[in-house]
Amino acid sequence: MTAWEPIATTEPSATAPSPAAAPVALPAHDVLRAAPEGAPPPTALVFASPHSGDIYPEDMMAAARLTADAIRGSEDAHVDRIIEGAPALGAAVIRARLARAYIDLNRDPWELDPAMFSDELPDFAQGRSARVAAGLGAIARVVAEGRPIYARKLTFAEAKARIDLAHRPYHDALDRLLAAARSTHGVAILVDWHSMPAAAARGQRARGGGPCDIVLGDRFGAACSPRLTALVERELESMGYRVARNAPYAGGYTTEHYGRPARRTHALQIEINRALYMNEATREPTEGLARLTADAARLTQALADLDVSSLR
């Protein structure tokens, strides 16, 4: 049995709203379970898609200089569709509904850029990371091409509202899914699914040569058992994909925050070349989406069959 579990009490409308008119009351994320809520999960697997959301709330667009369509290039479009069959194979899935540019769920929530705000941020919220410097903190300042998103400066109250609405509930739900997996199976395996621009893929050589199709990020071995990374790499290569490790993506906040093998949680980030399944200019899926979806199911089955007691 599977069931979508919205975090908010307001149900989504039957007809999807246009990105620029989406109300904040919509659920910020969904959970697709592999078993009814409260029942033991059938496997240790938890899949996450933090960047596939495509809803742009009114409060964001009222402050923006760009249209929602101009911002959409930052989305990991269709990644949630690639893994939508995972619950039938025993993996729970959590996916964002709100756009990455509204609040990035793969960042520390307080990784904020002081230059974006009209008031002074608390010390704990003054991000000083390379991501913030590039304009890609928890609330993005620019789109990938470097164009500013906002027509005015935001306030700290606006940032906190986004964190309370979307970031905190998402990670609370993810925490619960991982805790349930550990309680039942003694270990949890988190796979964080993303997509990357074709240009980034072309700039990285795969292990077997040529530009990579998929990048596996395990924080250079710190976030999960080497056995897990090797299994995923082997399965993907057997399907014909060119795989690289940890470059140009070693794993973001989710992988780093949750990947604690000594505490029985293994986290691995998977980045997929968008050219494999979509037209990057139009964001429309191509025939490659069906192949990737089928191959993701094969990988999920291989992970479900893994003897988790072998992970160290």
Segment-wise mean pLDDT, segments of 10 residues, the chain, 312 residues: 33 34 67 95 98 96 97 96 98 98 97 96 91 95 93 98 97 98 98 95 83 96 97 98 95 97 97 97 96 98 96 81
Tokens 């659920």, residue located? 27
- Which of 199, 195, 257, 200 lies closest to 223, judged by CA? 257
Write the single-letter amino acid at 237.
E
What pLDDT, on a 0 to 100 scale, did the predictor assign at position 24? Answer: 52
What pLDDT, on a 0 to 100 scale, did the predictor assign at position 16? Answer: 36
Per DSSP, the three-state class of 305 is: coil
Tokens in use for 78? 């269709």
Q: How far is CA 36 from the centre of its chain?
A: 23
* Residue 248, preceding peptide bond in cis (omega within 30° of 0): yes
What pLDDT, on a 0 to 100 scale, did the predictor assign at position 205? Answer: 81
End-to-end CA distance of the chain: 31
Q: How far apart are CA 45 and CA 55, in angstroms?
A: 27
What pLDDT, on a 0 to 100 scale, did the predictor assign at position 18? Answer: 38
Q: How far apart are CA 303 and CA 312, in angstroms?
A: 15
Write the single-letter amino acid at 136.
L
What pLDDT, on a 0 to 100 scale, did the predictor assign at position 25? Answer: 59
What pLDDT, on a 0 to 100 scale, did the predictor assign at position 118? Answer: 97
Per DSSP, the three-state class of 80 is: helix
- Which of 194, 291, 201, 208 lies closest to 251, judged by CA? 194
pTM of the model: 0.91
Q: How far apart are CA 138 and CA 257, in angstroms?
A: 15
Other Cβ atoms closer than 10 A to 196: 21
What pLDDT, on a 0 to 100 scale, did the predictor assign at position 207? Answer: 82
DSSP state for residue 163 in the 8-state scheme:
I
- Which of 215, 192, 194 lies closest to 203, judged by CA? 215
Angle at 235 between CA 229 and CA 238, to 5 degrees: 135
